[in-house]
Amino acid sequence: MYDLYAKTLNTIGIPEFFAQISWPVIPFAFVAALLVLVVIFLVLMERKFLAWLTIRKGPNRVGPNGFLQTFADAIKLLFKEDIMSKDTNKVLFTLAPIIAFVPVMVIYGLMPFTEHLVAINLAVGLFLVFALSSVTTVGIVLAGWSSNNKYSLLGGMRSAAQAISYEIPLVVAVLSVAVLAGSLNLTEIVKAQEGGLFHWNIVPAFIGFVVLFICSIAEVNRVPFDLPEAESELVSGYNTEYSGMKFALFFLGEYAALFIMSVLVATLFLGGYLSPFGTYISAFLFGNILPAPLVDTFIHIEQGFWLVAKVYALLYAIIWIRGTLPRLRADQLMSFSWKLLLPLAFFNLLVVSIIKLVF
């Protein structure tokens, strides 16, 4: 994408030096706009879907059919007073939501949304995704410790224990994808799944897909793994003392991480932006009718459609789980990870390695 950007500026007489300086701003602005839109829609979608699952009305007052409720909530948080106790560590208390939120924005830039729509294309992109996702836990632990509140501290410690427990089977499950693709580059991992549904990584590594999906839910502290913010025990957990935009950053980061983890699962196991039919419908319908550049444009739009369709199928499954399952106890959460998910992840890696060796 940078080459195209620099070439475009060069054609209108702007030197490449300006392109090198201004280029980082482009992905950041794109990611920021995408993130806000995604979170606003995702919060509304979850409220509506949970209301339908539990036979309630859901948001239905602000705007037509309640569709402006999320905007109203955002405005409310924007104007709420920022309150800090005199005993809090004010520097760390302020830094914690930033540390928890910013890494998620960088991960958005690493995701291949279409064949050419990827802001940061790195050879070790998959490694960097999990390195950055671990930083979010540091922000949550800092929030709990700096609040000088026993409930917040317990929530932060629970988050650290949960992250350590579930990141190990998560990484082992992802290793099977790296073995199948022979690369840590996310774009190369998607391209290795070309050929249709039966070439996707979910076929040889179905156990790894299940492990990664469960661990992804735990990574973003969703039900039934929401112990760091269990309201029945910890008031609101690590963010109990937060208000206003600091609280909103935690909220924004959680839903942004939920979306990006779904994108990651779809990219690693469900072919990412690839069509399940092995060929694109746009190429089949318009390949012999329209000019090649126009056909390519339709293909890129279709690639975005397939990725979004897979991501929202996963999101609906996650919301369905939230509306169905109760919260696990702390001992159940640890046992589930160490005694079940970790052995399954290693077994999946063994099976995938044998398949790769033989075939």
Chain segment 273-315, per-residue pLDDT in tens: 999 998 888 888 887 788 888 888 889 889 999 999 999 999 9
- In 3D space, the residue among 147, 167, 134, 132 whose CA is nearest the CA of residue 229 turns out to be 147
Are residues 72 and 106 both part of a single domain? no
- Cis peptide leading into residue 97 (ω within 30°): no
Q: Residue 343, SS3?
A: helix
CA torsion through residues 257, 261, 264, 266, sign: negative
Are residues 304 and 337 both part of a single domain? yes
Q: What is the pLDDT of residue 137?
A: 86
Number of domains within the chain: 2
Are residues 247 and 269 both part of a single domain? yes
Of 79, 97, 119, the residue that ends a domain is 79
Are residues 334 and 282 both part of a single domain? yes
Are residues 22 and 102 both part of a single domain? no
User: Looking at the predicted structure, is the pLDDT value of residue 6 above 80?
Assistant: no
- Cis peptide leading into residue 15 (ω within 30°): no
Are residues 75 and 152 both part of a single domain? no
Q: What is the CA radius of gyration of the chain?
A: 22
Are residues 278 and 319 both part of a single domain? yes
15: in domain: yes
Instruction: Please give the residue range of the domain that contains residue 214.
Output: 89-358
Of 79, 102, 126, the residue that ends a domain is 79
- In 3D space, the residue among 239, 231, 219, 205 whose CA is nearest the CA of residue 160 turns out to be 219
319: in domain: yes
84: in domain: no
264: in domain: yes
Q: Which residue's structure tokens are 């995704």?
A: 129
Are residues 199 and 62 both part of a single domain? no
List, in sequence order, the alpha helices (H) in 54-149: 69-79, 90-110, 125-146
- Rounded to the nearest integer, the mean pLDDT of the chain is 86
CB-side neighbour CA atoms (13 Å) of 214: 18
- The 10s digit of each residue's pLDDT in 61-87 is 888 888 899 889 888 888 888 888 888
183: in domain: yes
